[in-house]
Amino acid sequence: MAGNAADTTPRIPTVPESDLTRTYLLVLIVEAVVIACLFWLSRAFA
Amino acid sequence: MRALDWTVVAVYLTWIVWSGLRAANRSNDVDGYLRANRSLPWWAVGLSVMATQLSAITLVGTTGQGYADGIRFVQFYFGLPIAMVILSMTLVPFFYRSGVYTAYEYLERRFDVKTRTLAAAIFLAQRGLSCGVIIAAPAIILSIVLGWNLFATILAIGVPTIVYTMYGGVQAVTWTDVKQMAVVLGAMTAAVVVLILGLPHDVTVAGALHVAGALGKLKAVDTRFDLREKYTIWSGLIGGVFLSLSYFGCDQSQVQRYLTAKSLTQSRQSLLLSAFVKIPLQALILLTGVLTFTFFLFHRAPLLFNPVYAQQVQASPRAEEYRQLEREYDAKSDARSQAAERLAAAPADNQSPVEAKFVREAFRQADADVRDVRVRAAKLVKDVSGDTGYTDVNYVFPTFILQYMPIGLVGLMIAAIISAAMSASSGEMNALATATMVDFYRRHVNPNAADATYVRASKIATAFWGLFACGVAVYAANLGSLIEVVNTFGSLFYGSVLGVFILALGFKRANGHGAFAGLIAGLAVVFTVAYAPATKDAISYLWFNVIGAIVVVTVGMIVSLATPRTQPAI
């Protein structure tokens, strides 16, 4: 059986939220840059 | 430790407990105690997410790993930012909007009570044990290097944590986490400064990195695709994504952190803080280990970093053999130190490629000679003590702290190690208590009690899990090898639990019977792969997360299609 009577936690009403698409893209770009820097580090000091 | 160092540690402990207890005033009802009334800012929640993950094992073990093996362990975290983005777009809105206290509560709304209860029980078993290890690992190290009583050290870490977590709830956990992260970052910065200032005058930081690089310690990215290799870019990006999805998306110790944020946007932003910071932070901690290695090239390190085993060997019938090894080690360390100085100066000397190669090869040979002596010393320890798993990498950084950090900063570093253990274990205790109260006590034992009853039950559960963790810590400390077993324990469960949440979110046709059967099948397959003689050394543990998730989704969908469709409660 899905759901249950004893589960009384109230749902949170939906409110408008900020669009974080640009932040997500920035996360991925920063990760790529950091990995590239680490790759450079291993080459530069090999 | 001097009086000033003791004072620093005592002031730190008093400050943390006091600030944790202050939060008790804001934790009088269930929502305040377990979810901080959804009032916390994203940066505090984000730091708490990071603090819960950054245990003393991370602080001491990761620097030791950097010392011994370089920075390649950083690849383990490559999947984390991608997972954070996926979670922010998928699971976090579901959890936040449904108003749940635990991740497993959501599973009942989507599937059924048996799936929720099994997932919560897996969390309690796995996290209860790991919380003990989080306390045991630094307690063992501190008791050995400082000569403290082990039981007293466990209590010194565990009891203050139990007290402020029990009275202050999630608000105490979050705000003390913020302070503890500040202590850890401040102490690590101080250590890096001392390490750099401790290099010889004619050795620059670039020269020191050049020396470490000659031994491959700065090789951060391994592009080979080999399932047996623990850390490659592929195991990090693929296995690491699944591990991070599971840990941050399905583990109550993390889910509870971001459910306390003021809004869904702030909840997402708290996770994205880790996405930005985690890889650079871990790289810096590993680089601190690499710098410790270069530091000890120019300052004689002990042959054995674990002083208890060194004393044990010196008191054994094979003491003369050990003294001979020490003499050999001293001579070879001197030769390596000179070779390192020549190599560190090489970039400034405008050497020809042939000369530079000769200097580099001479240093590599000198380092191999030193390692050879240390391997023989380790074998001697194993023979004398009977501890076949002996390794002393976890004692490298504490040895540096005690022997080379200035007075006062030693106290700060010890406070940072205790701090890391407390911040990680407080989050665990709080999450264990929440799952116990919400998923078992309120769901199965006492569904219609007053708010005050649930707060009291949560406090009792916190005390229970705190004392349980201290008990596990004592037991684990006496059985050293158990620590390693429990550390890899998590990977046996994470992928399968993640698979259930993938079924919940990604497959409308999936039902409770499918999720439950899939979870059992996933666990069975992962345990078989991990322990069957034919496969146990063929696949590295990061891949268990991928295997578990795939098996759960596959079996879950087959069973769901074979059983009647159900209507979810959400």
**Are residues B42 and B183 located together in one domain of the fold?**
yes
H-helix segments, B252-393: 252-258, 264-298, 307-314, 319-345, 353-385
| Alpha-carbon distances of A17 from A20, A26, B100, B274, B281, rounded to whole Å | 9, 19, 19, 20, 29
- Please give the residue that has the higher pLDDT: either B488 or B341: B341
Q: What is the mean pLDDT of residues B187-214?
A: 91
| pLDDT tens-digit readout, B509-547 | 999 999 999 999 999 999 998 888 888 777 877 788 889
Cβ contact (<8 Å) for A46 and B218?
Answer: yes
Q: Of B78-82, B238-242, B340-344, B357-361, which has the strongest mean pLDDT?
A: B78-82
Q: Chain B window 513-532: which residues touch A at a Cβ cutoff of 8 Å? A: none
Least Cα distance to B468 among B137, B134, B138, B139 occurs for B134
Using the Cβ of B98 and the Cβ atoms of chain A, whether some distance falls under 8 Å is answered with yes
Query: In Å, how far is A13's CA from the nearest CA of chain B?
Result: 7
B101 touches A9 (CB < 8 A):
yes
**Alpha-carbon distance A9 to nearest alpha carbon in chain B (angstroms):** 6
Is A19 touching B (CB cutoff 8 A)?
A: no
Cβ–Cβ pairs < 8 A, chains A and B: 113
In-domain check, residue B207: yes
The pLDDT-based confidence of A11 (bands split at 50, 70, 90) is: low
- Put simply, the chain B residues between 115 and 154 with a CB less than 8 A from any chain A CB are none
The verdict on a CB contact (< 8 Å) between B108 and A3 is yes
Give the residue on B whose Cα is nearest the Cα of A19.
B265
How many domains are there within chain B?
A: 2
B74 and B130 fall within a common domain: yes
Asked whether residue B553 is assigned to any structural domain, the reply reads: no
Q: What is the pLDDT of residue B488?
A: 67
Do B463 and B353 belong to one domain?
no
A9 touches chain B (CB under 8 A): yes
| CB < 8 Å from A in window 263-292 of B | 263-265, 268-269, 272, 275-276, 279-280, 283
Selected residue of B100, B218, B570 to mutate for chain A interface (largest A Cβ count, 10 A) = B218
- The segment with the largest mean pLDDT, out of B42-46, B72-76, B178-182, B222-226, is B42-46
Regarding whether B283 and B345 lie in a shared domain, the answer is no
Tell me what the pLDDT averaged over chain B comes to: 89
**Domain shared by B96 and B206, yes or no:** yes
Q: Which of B84, B219, B275 sits opposite A42 (nearest CB)?
A: B219
User: Which residues in chain A are closer than 8 Å to B103, comparing Cβ atoms?
Assistant: none
A38 — contact with chain B (CB < 8 Å)?
yes
Give residue B536's pLDDT.
Answer: 74
Q: How far apart are CA B196 and CA B204, in angstroms?
A: 8
Note whether residue B562 is domain-resident: no
Residues B216 and B236 in one domain: yes
Among the residue ranges B60-64, B238-242, B354-358, the one predicted with the least confidence is B354-358
- Residue of A2, A12, A27 lying closest to B275 (CB–CB): A27
Contact list in A for residue B96 (CB cut-off 8 A) is 12
Asked if the Cβ–Cβ distance from B110 to A39 is below 8 Å, we say: no
CB contact under 8 A, B568 and A2: yes
Statement: the pTM of the whole predicted model exceeds 0.90: no
Asked if A24's CB is within 8 angstroms of B89's CB, the reply is: yes
Contact (CB<8Å) A28/B109:
no
Residues B357 and B419 in one domain: no
- Report the share of chain B in percent with pLDDT over 90: 52
Provide ipTM, 2 decimals: 0.81
* Best-predicted range by mean pLDDT (B306-310, B523-527, B565-569): B523-527
Please tell me if residue A29 touches chain B, with a CB cutoff of 8 Å: no
Taking the Cβ of residue A40 and every Cβ of chain B, the question of whether any pair is shorter than 8 Å is answered with no
Contact B290, B191 (CB under 8 A): no
Cα A3 to chain centroid, rounded = 29
Q: Is residue B133, in this structure, part of any structural domain at all?
A: yes
Alpha helices, DSSP H, located in B23-112: 30-35, 42-53, 56, 62-69, 80-89, 91-98, 103-110
Q: With respect to residue B496, please indicate whether it lies within any of the assigned structural domains.
A: no
Find the domain containing B171 and state its range.
3-296+401-434+452-476
Nearest CB partner across the interface for B112, out of A1, A10, A15: A1
Whether residues B81 and A28 touch (CB distance < 8 A) is answered with yes
Residue B261's beta-bridge partner residues?
B40
**Cβ atoms B169, B23 nearer than 8 A:** yes
Per-residue confidence (pLDDT) for residue B247, from 0 to 100: 87
Do B143 and B167 have their domain in common?
Answer: yes
What pLDDT is stored for residue B178 in this prediction?
92
Looking at CA atoms only, how far is residue A23 from chain B in angstroms?
8
Please name the member of A7, A11, A20 whose beta carbon is closest to the beta carbon of B88: A20
**B447 is a domain residue:** no
Q: Is A18 on the interface with B (CB under 8 A)?
A: yes
If pLDDT is split at 50, 70 and 90, which confidence band does A4 have? very low
Residue B263: CATH number of its domain: 1.20.1730.10
Question: At residue A3, does pLDDT exceed 60?
Answer: no
Contacts of B224 in chain A (CB under 8 A): none
C-alpha span between B468 and B136 (Å, rounded): 12
Give the integer Cα–Cα distance in Å for B567 and B112: 10
Q: Give the lowest-confidence range in A32-41, B398-407, B540-549.
A: B540-549
pLDDT at B83 over 80: yes
Nearest to B417 by CA among B218, B205, B128, B141: B141
Q: Is B113 on the interface with A (CB under 8 A)?
A: yes
Residue B107 in any domain: the answer is yes
Q: What are phi and psi of B261, to 5 degrees?
A: -70, 155
Domain match, B245 and B386 both: no
Mean pLDDT across the stretch B463-474? 93
Q: Are B39 and B182 part of one and the same domain?
A: yes
Instruction: Find chain B residues with C-beta within 8 A of A17's C-beta.
Output: 263-265
Residue-wise pLDDT for B319-336, tens only, equals: 999 999 999 999 999 999
Based on the fold, state whether residues B135 and B10 are members of the same structural domain: yes
Q: Is residue B537 situated within a structural domain?
A: no
| Contact: B213, A42; criterion CB under 8 Å | yes
Kindly identify which residue of chain A lies nearest to residue B278, measuring between CA atoms: A31
pLDDT band at A13; cut points 50, 70, 90: low
Region label for B312, one of left (φ > 0), alpha (ψ between -120 and 50) or beta (otherwise): alpha
Same domain flag for B288 and B426: yes
